[in-house]
Structure formats: structure tokens, C-alpha cells
Amino acid sequence: MVCAGTACVSNRSFQIRKALVEEIEKRGLQHEVAVVTTGCNGFCAVGPLMVVQPDGIFYQQLTEEDIPHLVEEHLLKGRPVKRLMYTPPGEKLPVPRMNDIGFFQRQRLIVLRNRGLIDPEKIDEYIARDGYFALEKTLSTMEPEEVVQEIIDSGLRGRGGAGFPTGLKWQLTRRASDNGDGKFVCCNADEGDPGAFMDRSIIESDPHAVLEGMIIGAYAIGAGQGHIYIRNEYPLALRRLQIAMEQAREYGLLGSDILGSGFDFDIHITRGAGAFVCGEETALMASIEGRLGEPRPRPPFPTEQGIFGKPTNNNNVETWANVPTIIRRGADWFSRIGTETSKGTKVFSLVGKISNTGLVEVPMGITLREIIYDIGGGIPDGKAFKAVQTGGPSGGCIPAEMLDLPVDYESLSEAGSMMGSGGMVVLDEDTCMVDIARYFLGFTQDESCGKCTPCREGTRMMLHILNKITQGQGTMKDLDTLELLAHEVRETALCGLGKTAPNPVLTTLRYFRHEYEEHIVRKKCSAHVCRQLNTYTIVAEKCTGCTRCARECPQEAISGDRKQPHSIDQSTCVKCGLCYDVCRFDAVRIE
């Protein structure tokens, strides 16, 4: 089982697969050992990786040179190679079996149940793992209303961020009048948050689950046409989706008269043209129609008037991928997982300052501590944990004091953040929270469509104030203005993008106000991130006089003779930090 998710592919997993196939053939093992290319395994930090079944031995950080040795030792002689196994940080012995590794142990797989187990480009492997069983069950034994009721009973909520109850949305679309023109179901795969790759990995590892969910949903809602809106920046996901659709059509699972039931349904793929705002459902629908991707006011809601004015049920990739398992195992089973109000599991992409970067699926209600320390393996290089940013640019920063917060829709929004689509960026002590707020706001300001006043002008003014503060020109009055402005933008913006854009600012103001005040009053950034607030000096004892900094300095502010300690002229220094970056002897000190 060779992982072929995006992260492993970019680490040469296709070449490793080729080397593996060649080596196996060279040894005449091709009838004994099958090489399977799977979707993302989730443990992206140690890729490229592979799992040898049936024992479940996990190999990581492979190179093409490792392959001959691995084939000879493990496959021929039956001696697993310890050198290539995963060793948890701070421990001496490697963990051979995948399921014993902490990263995998605490996860609960529903959406990603087939990850690393099937080849996403082969429909037969999906079917062998009970794929399309739920569709067959739906079409042959269930009335559309029963399907809707099943989803309502399961308590499934939208995984795209807002957490609207999925069954209720289905019911609204089902009951909406279409004047006989037909209805649409739509899959939102326009994932664009910085540091988020859940939807991409789901499609890349199990595209049929999304298709099956959509077909079941279409049957329940009474839709004859489906749309998948996917980013053009996801070429691998797009290709696997296209392959999956072709295979499903060939098997009579998509198209007219599905499984002989008389139900007709087909799916059309629209590729996004790159605007983040097109992930907002009304903008997404405008984009599908071929118009400018801008949000429109609601009401009318898409469930009443969606694509081309017809009732449209819009769900996120992960929501659709949950559906087959709910139908197959029952609402009762599903609703036992999770908390009172948030049922099931959630996929998170764990990135930032964390040891085990990757994709995880956990039951709702798990604490942040469990995700970050038990699964994520904590912060690398012995640094201290500072905060976690959930929900991408729409979410907020949750501080270390709240590590035991359970992860569900309500707890996260009470903390000022949100579930979002599931990005989780871990920040360590070297992070400046003002700078983080500035970074995320810079992103939303850049991606604002410019239609409504608060988002177009408000985010720009907030960014202006944050830039002033990080450059040491902020005043306490600016801080009040910033807070007021953030509050009003959240209250009055037209769509979800603008309404949530101030969240990174509001949460950092709530939990890290002292850092803002430090920047304004003391003109200092204790994380040394805001360069305009730093003072660069050269430590004479450490300086070897290599002249490198003097040569790199754009202002020629550094002087000193060869092999003699250098010094920086503070009056001409522009605080670009280049001397600090280039010094190999750690002789430039930041104060």
C-alpha cells in the first residue's frame, strides 16, 4: 500500500512505487505481492510512506534507494526493516504496526474509512469495502422521505463550517416547489483556507464515497442533476473524481435508470477559477451559472432559489462523504458518536508547529489537548504551545489555557472561533499573535470580493491599523477603533467571508490583548516577529568578522574590518533582519 496523496506524491511516492514494482518483478514476487496506490494516509509529516499488509507494518520517509533492501529483507526473508519504521519523538524503539502508532490510535474513521486501504481509481475496491451498498439499500428499500428522516435522526451537521443540520436542509429542498423544472444537489469542493486540505484528501482517497452520498441525497431530495464545484488547483482530486464518475456510469450507478430503479441522476463538474469567495454558497452558484462569483443576499435561500433559480441543496465534500456510512449503519449508530449537539466525527488538517503534520479524523467532543498532544505528538524542538488557530481565516485563536476545550460546534464558537472546514494551525511560543491576526486578515482582505461596504472598506482599514501596530506606530486609540470596527464588520457584512473575517482579530484581542498593548506602549514584539520593532546588534564575542552581513546589508549600515567584530549603525539600519538571517555564527542579537 503506497500512499499517493498530494504530500507523498510531491515527495516522490510515484517513483518509489515504480522502484517497488520493478524490484518485486526482479525477484519474481509479482504473483505473491500486489502493489496498491492508495489515497492520503493522513500521516503526511513522515511521507513518503507505505504499509505492508496483512501485518500492517508502517514504513516512513522512504527513498528509492531503500526499496531493494526493504523488498529483500521484509518481503523475501520476512524480517521487517526497523530502520525505516516510525519512532515517536523522545523514544528509542520504533513502532512497527500502523495501528499502534499514537497518531492513528486515537482516530475514529468514518469519512476516511477507506484511506490507505483502497486504490481510489478502482471502483471494484470501493465496492469490496461495502461501497454502493448504501445506494442499493436506499433505492430498493427506502422511500425518499425515509432517507431524509434517517439523516435528520443521525444529527449530521454541515461540515463546511456553519454546521447547519444536513437533514433539515434536505427536507427544505425536498419540500421547495420547483414547478416541475427539477432541483439540484451541489457539492462544494472549493476548499481554500490556508493550511486546510481535508476535502482534497477525501476526494483523492475515496472519491466514490462523495459520489455515493450525492446520489443518495439526490434521490432523497428529488434532484435530477448534480454539480461538483472543485478548485482547479486540485488536479489530482479532479482527475480521480472524473475517473470515479466514468466508472460509476459504466456500472450503471450514475446516469439514467440507476440500478434499474427508474431513478435518473447525473453529475457535472465545474472547475473554480481561483477566487476564495466562490466557496460561499451563493457566490459558488453564481459561478456555476457562469456569472461573476459574488455572494447575493439571502433570502431567497438556495434551498428555494439556487442554481438557475431552482431549489438547490448545497453540501460540503465531507458532509456528502458521511452519508453512505450513515445509511449503511443507521442513524442510531451514527448518533451515538460525538456530543449532544455535534454528532459523528470531524476531519482536521493538523499543520503549523506540530510534530505530526497530517490529516486526522476524530470523534466530536475530543479535546484540543488530545488532538495536539496525543495525536499530533506535541510541539517540535521542545518549544511551548501558545495557541491553536481553528477554522482558517474565518476562525480564531484559542489560547493554551483552553487546551481542554471539547471540539464541537458550540464550544468552538463560544470561544470566539469556529469549526470552519477543519483547518487547525498550531502556534508555538515564537509566534506573534498580532502578526497572526495581520496575516489572516491580509488573506481575507485580499480575497474580499468588494461588493459590500464593511468587507471591502472595513477589512482594509483593519489591516491598515494592524500594519501600523506591527510597525510600532499604533496608538491605544487605534486599538479601540480596531475593536469597534471588527465588531461592526462582523455584524453587518453581507456574506460569511466578511462576517467571519474579524474573528482572528477579535479572538487575539480577547486572549492576547497584552501583546497588542506591548506593541503599542513598549514598541516591542517579544516574539521578535515584527521586525520594525526589533533592534539588531552584533555580539562582539561571537562575531568572527566574516563580513557576510556587511556584504548583504542593503543599507551598508554594517561596518568592521575583516576578522574583526562588526557593528551596526542604528541610524541607517532599516531593520530588514537580513543580517540576522545570513549570520552563521548566531552573532546578531535581536532586542
Partner 1 sequence: MISLTIDGRRIRVRKGDTILAAAQAAGIDIPALCHHSALEPYAACRLCMVEVLEKNGSRLVTSCNTPVRSGMKVQTRSPRALAARRMNLELLLSRAPRAAVLQALASRYRISGTRFPVESPEEDCILCGLCVRICEQVVGASAICFAGRGSERRLTTPFEVVSDACIACGACTYVCPTDSVQMESETAEHFRERHGPLRQCRYSLMGLIPYALCANSFRCATCEVDQRFRDSMETHPVFVARECHLEPVSAYDRFLRRIRKESA
Kindly state the smallest distance separating residue 457's Cβ from partner 1, in Å.
4
Q: For partner 1, which stretch binds (CB under 8 A), given 56-64, 81-89, 395-403, 486-494? A: 486-494
Least gap, CB of 275 to partner 1 (angstroms)? 7
Q: Are 576 and 564 in contact (CB under 8 A)?
A: no
**φ, ψ of residue 566 in degrees (nearest 5):** -95, 170
Residue 493 is a binding residue for partner 1 (CB under 8 A): yes
Cα 156-158-160 angle, rounded to 5 deg: 150
The site map against partner 1 for 287-316 (x = CB under 8 A) is -----x---xx-x-----------------
Identify the residue among 451, 519, 531, 575 touching partner 1 (CB under 8 A): 451
Among 149, 367, 413, 492, contact with partner 1 (rule: CB under 8 A): 492
How many whole angstroms separate alpha carbon 278 and alpha carbon 340? 32
Query: Least Å distance between CB 297 and partner 1?
Result: 4
449 is a contact residue toward partner 1 (CB under 8 A): yes
Taking CB under 8 A as the rule, which mask of x and - marks residues 389-428 in contact with partner 1?
Answer: ----------------------------------------
Binding partner 1 (rule: CB under 8 A), the pick from 367, 413, 481, 567 is 481
Question: What cell was used for 500?
Answer: 467571519
Instruction: Compute the least distance from the CB of residue 103 to partner 1, in Å.
Output: 39
Show contacts with partner 1 in window 456-475 (CB under 8 A): 456-461, 464
Q: What's the min distance (Å) between Cβ of 409 and partner 1?
A: 18
Nearer to partner 1, 188 or 448 (CB): 448
Amino acid at 371: I
Q: What is the grid cell recorded at 32?
A: 505473491
Q: Which x/- pattern over 95-134 shows residues binding partner 1 (rule: CB under 8 A)?
A: ----------------------------------------
Q: How many CB atoms lie within 10 A of CB 591?
A: 9
Among 494, 501, 527, 588, binds partner 1 (CB under 8 A): 494
Question: Should residue 491 be labelled a site residue for partner 1 when binding is judged by CB under 8 A?
Answer: yes
Subset of residues 161 to 180 that bind partner 1, contact rule: CB under 8 A: none
Residue 410's nearest CA partner among 335, 343, 362 is 343
Q: Which helix (H) or strand (E) holds 243?
A: helix 235-250
Instruction: Tell me how far, at minimum, the Cβ of 414 lies from partner 1, in Å.
Output: 15
Measure CA 10 to chain center.
17
Distance CA 244, CA 211 (A): 8
Quickly list DSSP for 308-335: GGS-EEEEEHHHHHHHHHHHHH-HHHHH
Pick the closest to residue 443 from 403, 481, 395 (CA basis): 395
Residue 14 φ then ψ, to 5°: -65, -40
Site for partner 1 in 248-277 (CB under 8 A): 275
DSSP labels, 558-589: EE--TTS--EE-TTT-----HHHHH-SSS-EE
Residue 450 near partner 1 by CB under 8 A: yes
* Collapsed DSSP state (helix, strand, coil) of residue 389: strand
Select from 158, 454, 496, 504 the one that contacts partner 1 (CB under 8 A). 454
Contact 425, 522 (CB under 8 A): no
Whole-number minimum distance, CB 447 to partner 1, in Å? 7
| Beta-carbon contacts of residue 216 (< 8 Å; ≥ 6 apart) | 134, 135, 138, 147, 323, 324, 327
Q: Which residues bind partner 1 (CB under 8 A)?
A: 275, 292, 296-297, 299, 445-461, 464, 481, 484-485, 488, 491-494
